[in-house]
Structure 1
Amino acid sequence: MTATSRRRGLTEEAADAATDQACRMLRLPTIRSQFSELADAAAREQMSYRGFLAELLIAECDDRARRRSERRIKGAAFPREKSLRAFDFDANPNVDAAVVHTLAKCEWVKKGLPLCLIGDSGTGKSHLLIALGTEAAMAGFKVRYTLATKLVNELVEAADDKQLSKTIARYGRVDLLCIDELGYMELDKRGAELLFQVLTEREEKNSVAIASNESFSGWTKTFTDPRLCAAIVDRLTFGGNIIETGTDSFRLARTKATKT
């Protein structure tokens, strides 16, 4: 008796058991969990063998893509879950929904361009930063979220431990670095220079998105070295996107920062 004839002679219970065991061995958890339901549906709909096989494989592929997205989102270390669907554009008419949804397509991440979200506290900067970072992770990009002060402290400690190159390289491996709360604290010269080093190391390779409660003119309070301040402003704005979530014009204030 051939293997084919033996398989044809399996009872439904034996076939289910064999399928379950094969899925375990081949590591196909979605097919294993959905096989019985999909098989019953295929029988009712008189689906062809090829159609049934396609349904099984598509289900497995879709579920694997979902799990990969979940791992990337978890790896980004977002402090909370935020989505574009939950953002209230009506409550903040200063934010152009069309622009934000265009950014959600992540072409700017693919091109390695920066994004600046600037506005007063409570205007939705962090929400948009996390939501757009989540969209990038779902699109297959490796994302990392951090607070500006936390990143600077990590860089200073790494420099003291002679691990700076390794730390910068680790951040350089992500496709999108999301830096939140830039401008909430003044950075000393060393911290500002280390932050600038991270930003320049990423130039032309990876994207960076920042959220700041300070206009560009106010960045002189965060980066007290005028030349360094101007260099950082240029790095984070050249060729990129600026979204103003506040009522004041932060974009026009850039001139003061770059000429100080």
Structure 2
Amino acid sequence: MARANKAAPILDPLDAMLTRLKLTGVRDQLDNLLDEAGRANLSARETLALLCQREIERKDHRRIEMALKLAHFPVVKDLASFDYEAQPSVDPRQIRDLAAGRWIANGENLMLLGPPGVGKTHLAIALGREAILAGYSVQFVTATTLVASLAKAHAEKRLDDRLLGLAKPKLLIVDELGYLPLEPDAAHLFFQLVSRRYERGAMLITSNRNISEWGTVFGDAVVATAILDRLLHHSHVITIRGDSYRLRAKRRSGLLQKAPAQETTNEATT
């Protein structure tokens, strides 16, 4: 006995049109949105504006979610949770100005310098998040991971492809420069990256070493000077002089005694 063919599902023409126009936010919430418009006694024009607003909100939400994943932030940090009172050398007005993203639009650079534990990575991630909210593409990477990937690409004769990929994000965040030893050819590889992004894409670099020490960091004073020449041409430099959050917590618990004033001053200027 022949089996009866199942009836094909009847498609709502409006659903089909919304799908074709890629207005999936409106499509998936259409009945609820129309009910909301009816309860508010919205005119046809106001209802259309409501539908467009919700579609934009959904697209923005999905864009931000995807951009945050592609950024590869190691943790979630935002500006609201940064403790300015603990780091009085950081000017909240300057950070708010940087959060607006004009420096990113102009392809400028930002250097966050200071001893370990003062919040450089926190600010870097938070500013990167603000950049994503403003519509910029962002990529986060530690300095050692970045240079290792460049060295590997160079050995495999695909350095140009790797540099091309790193040139695409509007903001490239390089964290922890100077904390760990770099690859032997780090200076030359990093120089090529900085040159590729020079006046095209912004870079945010955090480091526990003064700019005057970068020759030691890269093991090549001449190339380090060339790197800094490009990074500092259009740049903002913030030096955080303060105590480590982690050490402060230990002192509060009594595990460590507060360092003498002279030692604290020396640490803050390294």
TM-score range, shorter chain: 0.7 to 0.9
Give 2:32's match in structure 1, choosing from 37, 40, 44: 37
| CA RMSD of superposed structures (Å) | 2.3
Q: How far did 1:204 drift?
A: 1.2
CA contact (8 A) 1:145 1:179 kept: yes
Kept in 1, the 8 Å contact 2:198–2:231? The answer is no
In 2, Cα distance between equivalents of 1:83 and 1:162: 39
1:238 is the counterpart of 2:233: yes
Structure 1 residue 99: Cα displacement? 0.3
CA distance 1:71–1:224, shift in 2 (3 Å): same
Deviations 1:138-187 (A, max 9, x none): 21111111110111111111111000111111111121110001001233
Mapped to 2, the partners of 1:171 and 1:101 lie a distance apart of: 27
Q: Under a length normalisation based on structure 2, what TM-score does the superposition of the two structures give?
A: 0.81
Q: Which whole-Å CA distance do the structure 2 matches of 1:26 and 1:110 have between them? A: 31
Give SS of 1:71's match. Answer: helix
Rounded to whole Å, the distance in 2 between the matches of 1:157 and 1:196 is 16
- Alpha-carbon distance in structure 2 between the residues aligned to 1:21 and 1:188: 55
**Farther-moved stretch of structure 1 (136-145 vs 216-225):** 216-225
Quick one: distance in 2 between partners of 1:103 and 1:229?
26
How far 1:111 sits from its partner (Å)?
0.5
**Other structure's SS at 2:185 match:** helix
Match of 1:6 in 2: none
- The one-letter code sitting in structure 2 at the alignment partner of 1:173 is K
Aligned residue for 2:147, secondary structure, equals: helix
Correspondence 1:61-210 to 2 at 5 A: 61-210=56-205
Provide the residue aligned with 1:212 in structure 2.
Answer: 207
Distance 1:235 1:90 in 2: 33
- Could you tell me whether the CA contact under 8 Å between 2:186 and 2:218 is conserved in 1? no
Q: Give the drift of 1:210.
A: 0.3
Task: Find the aligned partners of 2:87 and 2:145 in 1 and give their Cα distance.
Answer: 29
- Report the CA distance between 1:191 and its aligned residue: 1.8
In structure 2, C-alpha distance between the alignment counterparts of 1:145 and 1:249, rounded to whole Å: 30
1:85 counterpart SS class: helix
SS at match of 2:81: coil
CA distance in 2, matches of 1:68, 1:159: 33
Secondary structure in 2 matching 1:137: helix
Q: 1:46 Cα shift?
A: 1.5
- The range that moved more, 131-140 or 97-106, is 131-140
Query: Matches of 1:162 and 1:139 in 2, distance apart?
Result: 36
User: Structure 1 residues 249 and 60 mapped into 2: Cα distance closer, same or farther (>3 Å)?
Assistant: farther
| Whole-Å separation in 2 of the counterparts to 1:64 and 1:42 | 21
Report the Cα distance in structure 1 between the residues aligned to 2:144 and 2:198, rounded to whole angstroms. 21
Identity, % of aligned positions? 36
* TM-score, structure 1 normalization: 0.84
**2:126 counterpart letter in structure 1:** A
Q: How many residues are paired up?
A: 238
